[in-house]
Amino acid sequence: MKKVALVTGASTGLGISISIQLAAKGYAVYATMRNLEKKSQLQEAAETAGVSLEIKQLDVQDTASVDRCVSEIVNIEGSIDVLVNNAGSGFIRSTEQATEEDIQWVMDVNFMGVVRCTKAVMPHMRKQRSGHIVNISSVGGLVGQPFNEIYCAAKFAVEGYTESMASYIQPSFNINFTAVEPGGISSDFATNALKHFEGTGGMADDEYRPILETYLGSASRGIEGLYQTSDQVAEVVVKCIESPEPPVRTRTSEWSNTFCELKTQSDPTGKIQQARVIESFLSRG
């Protein structure tokens, strides 16, 4: 019987690659997106790869939309075995220049979207005593970076959420949790973040300007090893999903491992810390 996978944010980039690769592995894939008018890129990719998948509307910022989509899939398939929380948005701006609306939007898309989708699938996975929830985080969920503090805060929240869920859901109900931490991805993600930045006022002429120019200059010149293709990152995601003993966290490249090693070198997969938390709080001995 085919395993069923739900992927969010599948209109571009990484979401497309994950959906295609899971379908190629034989999963029944439900690739979702907020705006179905943007489904053509996914359809073309599926046709080129020679795979079939289902495309559904799901807006991670709308609880009713999330619940409806999950219910429809469960009614059709009877279960959801894998959830990939991929939907997210980048954000570049200092705290002083960010509006409260900006901050709420970034946290809602990148963190609350993960919580909404997880909350919706959990009863079904708990009932079947199996499942795997993969949260697409970032090296920015481990290491804060200039002008990305709001985005990094959201991804730090995803990391804490993933660790906490893994500490008791996995041993109690056999539902695995993994945070995947890419560096840069050559996709529409970074482009859209810059478009949002330019479309909401761009670079203010203040004391932050020279620092921001240095930051954007480094990004435009490229940092050796930073960027991967969506397909390369998706390969790591699928490998995690297929693993009989998935990590709690994983980076996706040599660059991302090196960048984060001061925080991860003693426990690269997060499994040691998971065991310690379980022993500290859930041991019956």
pLDDT tens profile 10-40: 999 999 999 999 999 999 999 999 999 999 9
Which residue of the set 151, 168, 208, 215 is catalytic?
A: 151
Q: What is the CATH number of domain 4-282?
A: 3.40.50.720
**Is 161 known to be catalytic?**
no
pLDDT tens profile 156-207: 999 999 999 999 999 999 999 999 999 999 865 555 656 666 666 677 788 9
First to last CA, the chain: 39
Give residue 191's pLDDT: 59
Query: Can you give the residue ranges of every domain in the chain?
Result: 4-282
User: pLDDT category, 5, cuts 50, 70, 90?
Assistant: very high
Residue 283 vs residue 29, higher pLDDT: 29
Give residue 280's pLDDT: 94
Q: Which residues contact 275 (CB under 8 A, 6 or more apart)?
A: none
Mean pLDDT of 146-156: 97
pLDDT tens profile 199-240: 666 777 889 999 988 888 876 666 778 899 999 999 999 999
CB distance 185 to 251 below 8 Å: no
Give per-residue burial for 8-40: e unless 16+ CB within 10 Å, then b.
bbbbbbbbbbbbbbbbeeebbbbbbbbeeeebe
Give residue 203's pLDDT: 72
pLDDT tens profile 42-99: 999 999 999 999 999 999 999 999 999 999 999 999 999 999 999 999 999 999 999 9
User: pLDDT category, 283, cuts 50, 70, 90?
Assistant: confident
